[in-house]
């Protein structure tokens, strides 16, 4: 039975940190089992990396992507283990869309872990380390950001574009490092309150990722995709899809297309969502979601206390 008025959302890159999920790992067998399965699929001890590795290693996208997917799926399984019901709808931010599709039954977990590691490798090699960058811009109208990036792009500094529409007044830009720096300077002149470089190692969701998209399409050709048991709102067009081949196309397009997170949240609200559960490390999406629609209630599953609070708060909502 689905939880009425409830959505589960899954974070993307930037939420990773050394030591994350330590309490959940101790509390829930489902979390331990999920990390063990991921380690077996990838051939290294993922849990040891998260707890004892270096942040710089964790931030490399080929590592970050399977780590975050595993973390989100582990918390979803802990939720189920504790008796939590399925939500009305799901969505994931960028990489988080893969997590959502695993939890919705559209992708096999082991397949997805291997696939997102490849996705990370493809994205990293599309633009060498140091040549690409991303930055969050806060306090400027979205269209101003789009226009300034368009004015900078194509010049001697390279390409830059608005790529993540995270909430009104918070947009992420990405591209060649010099072009991102030039856009940041112009946006500060235009009144941006903050411009924060992001801890990622490639300019995601830009035209620079098209080669990665082509390689991802090849890798995905042999991966089975099912129709989701729970609707998943996609980043590219803010709609749910049931056709596996259409889902496959959208996952490829997403790698070089802007993430329309504001539109995804609005689409969930239009379906009647009033409670949003963040299933993964951190609370980044909870903050964005409240800026998009102040009526939304947010819950986080990263800590056992948060998971139990969400179970209690949503009990009887099915």
Looking at the DSSP assignment, which residues form a beta bridge with residue 71?
Answer: none
Structure-token match 């991303």, residue found: 134
Distance CA 112, CA 59 (A): 19
Distance CA 10, CA 205 (A): 17
Q: How far apart are the first and last CA of the chain?
A: 6
Backbone φ, ψ for residue 254 (5° rounding): -60, -30
Measure Cα distances from 118 to 19, 123, 162, 196, 282 in Å: 24, 8, 25, 28, 24
Distance CA 24, CA 68 (A): 14
Is residue 204 within 8 A of residue 163, CB to CB? The reply is yes
- Pair of tokens at residue 154: 């194509």
Based on the residue annotation, tell me whether 94 is a catalytic residue of this protein.
Answer: yes
Catalytic residue, chosen from 39, 72, 94, 167, is 94
User: Comparing C-alpha atoms, which of 284, 279, 285 is closest to residue 303?
Assistant: 279
Catalytic residue, chosen from 205, 234, 299, 300, is 205
3-state secondary structure of 271: coil
The radius of gyration computed from the CA coordinates of the chain, to the nearest angstrom, equals: 19
Active site residues: 94, 205
């Amino acid at each position: 039975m689905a939880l009425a008025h409830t959505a589960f959302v899954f974070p993307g890159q930037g939420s990773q940190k050394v030591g994350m999920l330590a309490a959940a790992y101790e509390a829930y067998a489902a979390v331990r089992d999920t990390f063990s399965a991921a380690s077996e699929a990838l051939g290294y001890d993922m849990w040891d990396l998260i707890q004892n590795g270096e942040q710089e290693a964790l931030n490399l996208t080929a590592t970050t992507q399977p780590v975050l997917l595993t973390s989100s799926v582990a918390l979803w399984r802990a939720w189920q283990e504790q008796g939590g019901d399925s939500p009305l709808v799901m969505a994931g931010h960028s990489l988080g869309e893969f997590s959502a599709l695993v939890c919705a039954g559209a992708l096999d977990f082991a397949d997805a872990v291997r696939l997102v590691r490849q996705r990370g490798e493809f994205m990293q090699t599309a633009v060498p380390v140091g040549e690409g960058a991303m930055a969050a811009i806060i306090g400027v109208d979205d269209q101003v950001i789009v226009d300034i990036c368009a004015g900078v792009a194509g010049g001697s500094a390279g390409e830059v574009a608005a790529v993540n529409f995270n909430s009104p007044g918070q947009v992420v830009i990405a591209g060649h490092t010099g072009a991102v720096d030039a856009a940041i300077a112009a946006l500060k002149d235009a009144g941006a309150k903050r411009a924060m470089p992001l801890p990622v190692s490639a300019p995601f969701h830009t035209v620079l990722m098209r080669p990665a998209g082509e390689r991802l399409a090849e890798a995905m050709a042999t991966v089975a995709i099912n129709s989701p048991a729970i609707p998943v709102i996609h980043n590219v067009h803010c709609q749910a899809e049931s056709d596996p081949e259409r889902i496959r196309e959208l996952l490829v397009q997403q790698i070089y297309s802007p993430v329309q997170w504001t539109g995804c949240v609005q689409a969930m609200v239009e379906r009647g969502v009033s409670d949003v559960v963040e299933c993964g490390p951190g609370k980044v999406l909870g903050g964005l979601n409240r800026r998009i629609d102040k009526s939304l209630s947010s819950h986080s599953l990263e800590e056992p206390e948060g998971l139990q609070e969400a179970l209690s708060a949503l009990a009887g909502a099915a």
